[in-house]
């Protein structure tokens, strides 16, 4: 398994790492390995190729930007199965993709956020998105559709931070949305930063990926 962030990031990468540990427990005879903090792009292609040469039978990539590198490596190693998380490409042979219907949960979270914002008398939401890709736009739309159910007057400010994992950028991005007037801010990134900043500012944050990311009082669940 190839991870975009550290295995203990409190979010996305940690959730997948724990899934890998579950496999280890249930399949003790399997040989399992992970590599963390692998950037998207050319660097990741080298990593996938290296794992393939080492003889792994099943390789998982857990970030959108791994899509094209994995597709290229899959053509070179037709006997290995490659599974890409969140992408949309497949060769119908040994390379495919998977992802949950996260928009369903974002819709429900949007309903909760809208209700909270309305109760607080401030109908402004914020979405600290990562990259302007279909996945993030779809999830942002789901948030707003849900929010409109409980708070028809709610609006949402969206800002892209162009990273999946950067604790400093995530804190700065969350702070900028709160400072611009948002009562509730969502994150599409990996760390609990949005909830931590919400706690400091007396506002509300909605995290992503892992239960441990929502430990503070001002995190909506």
Average pLDDT over residues 89-93: 96
Average pLDDT over residues 141-153: 99
CA distance 104 to 55: 38
Q: Is the pLDDT of residue 7 over 90?
A: yes
CA-CA-CA-CA torsion sign (205, 209, 215, 221): positive
Q: What is the mean pLDDT of the chain?
A: 95
Calculate what percentage of the chain has a pLDDT beyond 90. Answer: 90
Q: Are 186 and 109 in contact (CB under 8 A)?
A: yes
Using one digit for the tens of pLDDT, what is the confidence trace for 39-48?
998 899 999 9
Using one digit for the tens of pLDDT, what is the confidence trace for 111-132?
999 999 999 999 999 999 999 9
Residue 211: its pLDDT value, please? 84
The pair of three-digit structure tokens given for residue 61, joined into one six-digit string: 């990539």
Using one digit for the tens of pLDDT, what is the confidence trace for 153-170?
999 999 999 999 999 999
Neighbour-count burial for 176-204, b at 16+ CB within 10 Å, e otherwise: bbbeeebbbbbbbbbbbbbbbbbbebebb
Residue 47: its pLDDT value, please? 98
Domains, the chain, ordered by start:
12-98 (3.40.50.2300), 102-213 (3.40.50.2300)
Using one digit for the tens of pLDDT, what is the confidence trace for 179-193?
999 999 999 998 899
Q: Are 71 and 89 in contact (CB under 8 A)?
A: yes
Residue 221: its pLDDT value, please? 83
Burial of 81 from C-beta contacts in 10 A (0-12 / 13-18 / 19+): middle
Average pLDDT over residues 13-29: 93
Question: pTM of the prediction?
Answer: 0.87
Q: Is the pLDDT of residue 11 over 90?
A: no
């Amino acid at each position: 398994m190839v991870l975009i962030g550290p295995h203990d990031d409190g979010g996305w990468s940690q959730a997948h790492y724990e899934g890998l540990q579950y496999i280890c427990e249930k399949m003790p005879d399997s040989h399992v390995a992970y590599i963390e903090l692998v950037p998207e792009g050319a660097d990741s292609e080298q990593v996938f190729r290296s794992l393939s040469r080492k003889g792994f039978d099943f390789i998982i990539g857990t970030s959108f930007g791994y899509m094209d590198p994995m597709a290229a490596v899959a053509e070179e190693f037709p006997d290995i199965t490659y599974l890409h998380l969140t992408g949309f490409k497949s060769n119908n042979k040994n390379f495919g993709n998977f992802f949950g219907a996260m928009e369903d949960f974002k819709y429900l979270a949007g309903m909760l956020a809208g209700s909270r914002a309305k109760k607080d008398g401030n109908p402004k939401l914020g979405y600290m998105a990562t990259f302007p890709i279909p996945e993030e736009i779809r999830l942002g739309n789901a948030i707003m559709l849900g929010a409109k159910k409980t708070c028809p007057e709610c609006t949402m400010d969206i800002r892209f931070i162009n990273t999946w994992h950067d604790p400093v950028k995530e804190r700065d991005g969350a702070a900028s949305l709160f400072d611009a007037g948002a009562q509730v801010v969502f994150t599409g990134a990996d760390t609990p930063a949005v909830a931590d900043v919400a706690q400091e500012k007396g506002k509300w944050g909605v995290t992503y990926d892992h239960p441990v990311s929502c430990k503070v009082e001002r995190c909506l669940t």
